[in-house]
Amino acid sequence: MSANQTAALRPLRFDQQVIASWIEPETRVLDLGCGDGQLLGHLVREKQVHGTGIELSEAYVAQCIGQGLSVVHGNVNEELPNYPDKAFDYVIVSQTLQQVHRPTKMLEQLLRVGRFGIVSFPNFGYWKVRLQAMFGGRAPKTRELPYEWYDTPNIRVLTLEDFRKYGEEIPFRIMRQEAVAMPGGDPFPRRVNLLPNLRASYGIFMIEGR
């Protein structure tokens, strides 16, 4: 129970706060890769959404169900096709896109089962990343991308600009977007309006199928 309480009491990450602010109350929400259910739990409690999560980690699934959340233990790409068209108002992919083997397949399914998709991911165009690659000559390792190249769960690297271009191919329309700086340990995460592809460490997009 202590793990559940921790998840409920810990404040939302800044990108999750932005996502939560975009969600209308009493809507149907699917959270892909919902982790320990922190965002989903927040939405269920504060916005009375009808929430469902999909999560690969058994320990996280147990924590989520233990909090009273509805979560299916499984792989996102296998589970998404099971849901009917437009079964949800919002489908959230919070910091999962960069870890998925077939992101196009996932986004197509996401836009099928949801009216809107909300996607957040670490920005590989962030200046610290660029500097490390340019001057260090090595695969970048930052607070946002803290892994060695050989053990990272992030198998895709993309920038905010890449994602915007991606929308022409899938295709999707970007309804809302927010670039944020969330340096680890910085007590003042903030929105970035000037030169976001260079200065923001994370991007959050609300998209809709064309």
Partner 1 sequence: MTQSNCSGAETASNGVCLFTLPEPLVFRSGAELSGVQLAYETFGTLAADKSNAVLVCHALTGDSHVASSVHGGQVKPGWWDEYVGPGKPVDTDRFFVICSNILGSCYGSSGPASINPATGSPYGLDFPVVTITDMVRAQRQLVRHFGISRLCAVTGGSLGGMQVLEWAARYPEMVAAAVPIATTTRHSAQAIAFNEVARQSVISDPNWQQGAYYGGPAPDLGLAVARMIGHITYLSDESMHVKFGRNLQNREQLSFNFETDFQVESYLHHQGRKFVQRFDANSFLYVTKAADYFDLELEKPESYASQAFKSSDTRFLVISFTSDWLYPSYQSKTLVTHLQRAGRDVSFCDITEKWGHDAFLLPNNHFADILGGFFSHVR
The answer to whether 93 touches 80, Cβ cutoff 8 Å, is no
Instruction: Tell me whether residue 57 or residue 132 sits nearer to partner 1 (CB atom).
Output: 57
If one asks whether residue 9 binds partner 1 (CB under 8 A), the answer comes out as: no
Instruction: Tell me whether residue 18 or residue 113 sits nearer to partner 1 (CB atom).
Output: 113
Place of tokens 């504060």: 46
Least Å distance between CB 54 and partner 1? 10
**Can the peptide bond before residue 171 be classed as cis, meaning omega within 30 degrees of 0?**
yes
Distance, in Å, from the CA atom of 207 to the CA atom of 114, rounded to the nearest integer, reads 10
If one asks whether residue 31 binds partner 1 (CB under 8 A), the answer comes out as: no
Which positions from 50 to 79 touch partner 1 by CB under 8 A, shown as an x/- string? Answer: x-x-----xx-xxxxxxxxxxxxxx----x
Paired tokens of 83: 């849901």
Q: Which of residues 75-134 bind partner 1 (CB under 8 A)?
A: 79, 82-84, 87
The answer to whether 141 touches 115, Cβ cutoff 8 Å, is no
Size of the site for partner 1 (CB under 8 A): 25
If one asks whether residue 47 binds partner 1 (CB under 8 A), the answer comes out as: no
Distance, in Å, from the CA atom of 207 to the CA atom of 23, rounded to the nearest integer, reads 13
If one asks whether residue 4 binds partner 1 (CB under 8 A), the answer comes out as: yes
Instruction: Tell me whether residue 61 or residue 158 sits nearer to partner 1 (CB atom).
Output: 61
Q: Which DSSP string do the residues of 113-172 spell out, in sequence order?
A: HEEEEEEEEE-TT-HHHHHIIIII-S----SSS-S-TTT-S------HHHHHHHHHHTTE
Least Å distance between CB 64 and partner 1? 8
Least Å distance between CB 67 and partner 1? 6
Distance, in Å, from the CA atom of 200 to the CA atom of 24, rounded to the nearest integer, reads 26
Instruction: Tell me whether residue 15 or residue 55 sits nearer to partner 1 (CB atom).
Output: 55
Q: Which residues bind partner 1 (CB under 8 A)?
A: 1, 4, 50, 52, 58-59, 61-74, 79, 82-84, 87
